Amino acid sequence: MNKHTEYDKRFKAIHYYERGIPFERILGLVRRGRFWLAKWLRRYKEHGLRGLEDRSRAPKRIWRRTPESTVKTILDLRKELESHRTKRSAFSGIGPEVINWELKQRHARHVPSLSTIARILRRHDKTEKKRPKGDRLKEPYPSFKPQKIGELHQTDLVGPRFLRGPNGITRFYSFHTVDVAGHTASANQFPDKRTLSLGKHLVASWSFLGLPRISQMDNEMSATGGGRYPYSLSQVIRLHLLLGIHLVFIPQGEPGRNASVESFNALWQARVLGRHHCPTLSHLRKTTGQFLRYYHYEKPHRALTQEKHGTRFSGILRDHHWRSLRHLPREFSLQRYVDSAGHLSIPLAKGKLSYIRKVDSHGKIELNGSTYFIREKLEGQYVVGTIYTYRKLLVVKQGARVIKSFAFPIKGPIVDPMLRIPRKRNK
């Protein structure tokens, strides 16, 4: 019922009352209850016909309004964080979560909730407009969803980037690896993106993060080898196989499939390259080390909770699970596999590696430099091609269903891995 009709009913009820019509008779005429009629009679006696109009339901007094002193503290803290001049703010964010955490660390008497802080920042134009989200891909994607630390690592490359210092311009690349479930990260910078540089980064990352069950990368040539020889596997692939790690390559042109490391890439560029002047590569490495200490032990991660994980810091979580993680064998040394020309020469070990691919309009996929016909009716759908080195076989699956198998005639000896790929236990 609209407001106008409702007001008419109230007016009629008062009109009948003024004419001396009995109470019970009025209820039948306007089809309302006793409490309704008593309420509007009282309003009429107190305020006349104006009392029959709707009143605002907004509270007359905001009992839990945030004190102005707290609002000022929040805005001052936001300004301090935006300056990035203090030790605590050198790598920190500036959002509601960071402000809430800082207020707790400084033992503030009144710490508002995240929604209240966000509302205060929004009221004072201290928030950025949200970017519209792109359309979600409709085709089912064979993703790996880790539940525990050490189950899945994502690795990516940032570069080339440039440093300007007294000795001119320095070109460099930064390799990043993230433990998806543990939220820990590793970053190393090199003047090139050769296979050896990527290998050094991976070994350094595994020394800190532990060995993963699955390592996921994009199709960077230093990792894939470029597919120049169809049945030859790159040194990075061989490094994974030797250490019992299942290497997975995401589809070409879909970097969003490595969302965790892509997010870290953006954070590292914003908090390190965007805020700090690093004239040399050694200076950049030092600053990156400081950022990583902040990232692991001073920055509470939004995906970690005290109740579920026992800590909000990814570095402390890694420390708690360190003994349960897989580690590099004591006898392993990457330098052992570097030849006189400075190139890696790692033996091929038994194991498996996978390529996630999207079937093209001709029903084909490209894998390790070769093209394989799958099925035309699978156009636009994702499949997983897995190479089993010991069996010299390529098996293409969609979900648990085998679509096709192809011979993969690897040449040369195949050795036993130093570590086995751990099987995922079903709960």
pLDDT of residue 405: 95
Residue 38 has pLDDT above 60, yes or no: yes
Residue 416 domain-assigned (yes or no): no
Task: State the greatest distance between any 2 C-alpha atoms of the chain, in Å, as a whole number.
Answer: 113
**Higher model confidence: residue 244 or residue 82?**
244
Tens-digit pLDDT profile for residues 241-300: 999 999 999 999 888 899 999 999 999 999 999 989 999 999 999 999 999 999 999 989
Residues 74 and 47 grouped into a single domain = no
pLDDT of residue 348: 95
Residue 415 domain-assigned (yes or no): no
Residues 398 and 324 grouped into a single domain = no
Task: Provide the phi-psi class of 158: left if phi over 0, else alpha when psi is between -120 and 50, else beta.
Answer: beta
User: Three-class SS of residue 101?
Assistant: helix
pLDDT of residue 12: 85
pLDDT of residue 5: 78
The count of domains in the chain is 4
Q: What is the dihedral of CA 259, 261, 267, 268, to 10 degrees?
A: -160
Residues 105 and 244 grouped into a single domain = no
Residue 59 has pLDDT above 70, yes or no: no
Residues 101 and 175 grouped into a single domain = no
Residues 180 and 326 grouped into a single domain = yes
- Mean pLDDT throughout 328-356? 93
pLDDT of residue 267: 93
The least confident of 70-79, 206-215, 286-295, 418-427 is 418-427
Instruction: Identify the CATH number of the domain in which residue 165 sits.
Output: 3.30.420.10
Residues 46 and 106 grouped into a single domain = no
Residue 57 domain-assigned (yes or no): no
Residue 132 domain-assigned (yes or no): no
pLDDT of residue 269: 94
> How far, in Å, are 241, 386, 390, 410 from residue 407 at the CA level?
19, 12, 12, 9
Q: Are 411 and 402 in contact (CB under 8 A)?
A: no
pLDDT of residue 427: 46
Range of the domain at 107: 68-123
Helix orientation angle between 96-105 and 114-123, rounded to the nearest 10 degrees: 120
Residue 224 domain-assigned (yes or no): yes
Residues 361 and 333 grouped into a single domain = no
Residues 200 and 291 grouped into a single domain = yes
Average pLDDT score over the chain:
87
Structure tokens at 8: 């008419």
Kindly report the pTM of this predicted structure: 0.76
Could you tell me which residues are beta bridge partners of residue 155?
177, 217
Residues 178 and 237 grouped into a single domain = yes
pLDDT of residue 387: 95
Residues 382 and 258 grouped into a single domain = no
| Cα–Cα distance, 243 to 331 (Å, whole number) | 12
Q: Where a domain ends, among 337, 363, 396?
A: 337
pLDDT of residue 295: 94
| Cα–Cα distance, 285 to 186 (Å, whole number) | 12
Residue 206 domain-assigned (yes or no): yes
Tens-digit pLDDT profile for residues 124-138: 777 765 555 554 446
**Higher model confidence: residue 369 or residue 349?**
349
Q: Which of these, 93, 157, 95, 158, lies nearest to 121 by C-alpha position?
A: 95
* DSSP code, position 387: E
Residues 83 and 16 grouped into a single domain = no
Residue 25 domain-assigned (yes or no): yes
Residue 15 domain-assigned (yes or no): yes
pLDDT of residue 101: 78
